Structure 1
Amino acid sequence: MNPTSPIDPGSDTARSQYSFTSRWHVAASQEDVWYLFEDQLASDDPFVWWPGMDSERRGDDIHVVAGSPVGYTLRFRLHDIVEEPKERVTLQSDGDLDGEAALVLRGVDESSSTIDVSWHVDVTQPWMRATRLALRPVFVLAHHAVMRAGERGLNSWLVENRQRDSDPVR
């Protein structure tokens, strides 16, 4: 399995403080990944498979507490989630991360796919804004570590669910 591929290492843009694009390599077809998205986005804990990410569905929104590998915690709400079946999910965020994200699914072959994740955010915690220039490299590395953990967690979760679903004892 290839690790997360950072396409954009976290560039500054005029409209947001951080702009990231990552590519996840997933050992499941585009269709299987889409059905997982549908099921998980509707569940009480949409990111149960993502280490360090606690999530809770509240109505149409998802409230997230994300732990950083360097010790800080981000709290944000995902809302205005729009699904384009089997192709794309877009959403808005507010809280410690104010911005937008898009996840684009692409099939590679019948048993693998990619997810391109674009994330454009402003940080709102005063300490992060004040230390932005000095700690930017740390924030960028932490983002990539969290994304790698998500990619690994998703692939592990898919394997576990396939094994459970094919277990003849169940």
Structure 2
Amino acid sequence: MVARIYDLSSSWTFPNTQQEVWDVIADADMSWPDWWPGCTFAKPLVRAPYASDASDAEILTATTAGLNFKATLGYTLKVSYRPTHVDSPNEITFDAGGDLHGDGRVMLRPLPHGGTQMKIEWRVRPTSLWMAFLSPVAAPAFTYAHRVLMRRGEEGLRQHLARQDKGNRK
């Protein structure tokens, strides 16, 4: 049985500059577990060899992160995230593996009144047998769990950026 493909998108806005948001989400050390509730490292980062004078983008594309995401419905997804293209500070495209296989991208753009909009697009297929089996009937529940997880990520990033702002003002 082949599981359905999920086209998932989110849009987050922050009062911070595009560069400030980029510096956190495109961190080569993948600091996401520091600010995203329910996100933990599944294993240490894996980094392919890169030149000693590599740019931040080259280091990022040499990095694969294995992350766990705890869903509100009680299950945990193990997802690997490997950036494939980096256009700093505008866009990251990536491949996903593990319990979700597919690809996605994160796009940042400045807002006219200030601040930054971040759009996240995922096109993934569940690979775990139980999710593939349940997809025909559980798709609304899986989509709901994704929305809640993304809202937690947005709020966590918003709080993280606010703490950084306060630290920079001292």
State TM-score, norm by structure 2: 0.82
Q: Which has the higher helix share?
A: 2
Give runs of ≥4 in structure 1 deviating > 3 Å: 44-47
AA in 2 matched with 1:54: T
* CA distance 1:164–1:80, change in 2 (3 Å): closer
SS of the residue corresponding to residue 34 of structure 2 reads coil
Residue 131 (structure 1) aligns with: 134
Match of 1:57 among 42, 45, 64: 45
Q: Deviations over 1:102-159 (max 9, x none)?
A: 0010101474111010000000110111111211111000000001111111000000
Deviation of the 1:32 alpha carbon? 1.7
* CA distance 1:65–1:44, change in 2 (3 Å): same
Match of 2:19 among 21, 31, 55: 31
Q: Which moved more, 1:81-90 or 1:52-61?
A: 52-61
AA in 2 matched with 1:48: D
Q: Is 1:93 the equivalent of 2:96?
A: yes
SS of the residue corresponding to residue 138 of structure 1 reads helix
SS of the residue corresponding to residue 86 of structure 1 reads coil
Tell me, yes or no, if the aligned pair for 1:45 and 1:57 is still in contact at 8 Å: no
AA in 2 matched with 1:28: N
State TM-score, norm by structure 1: 0.82
RMSD: 1.8
Distance 2:95 2:20 in 1: 24
Match of 2:34 among 48, 72, 75: 48
* CA distance 1:156–1:61, change in 2 (3 Å): same
Deviation of the 1:44 alpha carbon? 5.5
SS of the residue corresponding to residue 82 of structure 2 reads strand
Deviation of the 1:65 alpha carbon? 0.5
* CA distance 1:146–1:44, change in 2 (3 Å): closer
AA in 2 matched with 1:29: T
SS of the residue corresponding to residue 35 of structure 2 reads coil
The total of aligned residue pairs comes to 151
Distance 2:166 2:45 in 1: 27
Q: Is 1:22 the equivalent of 2:10?
A: yes
Deviation of the 1:47 alpha carbon? 3.7
Deviation of the 1:166 alpha carbon? 2.3
Residue 52 (structure 2) aligns with: none
If asked which structure has higher relative contact order (CA below 8 Å, sep 6+), I would say: 2
Q: Which has the higher strand share?
A: 1
Deviation of the 1:75 alpha carbon? 0.4
Q: Deviations over 1:60-83 (max 9, x none)?
A: 111100100110010011114321
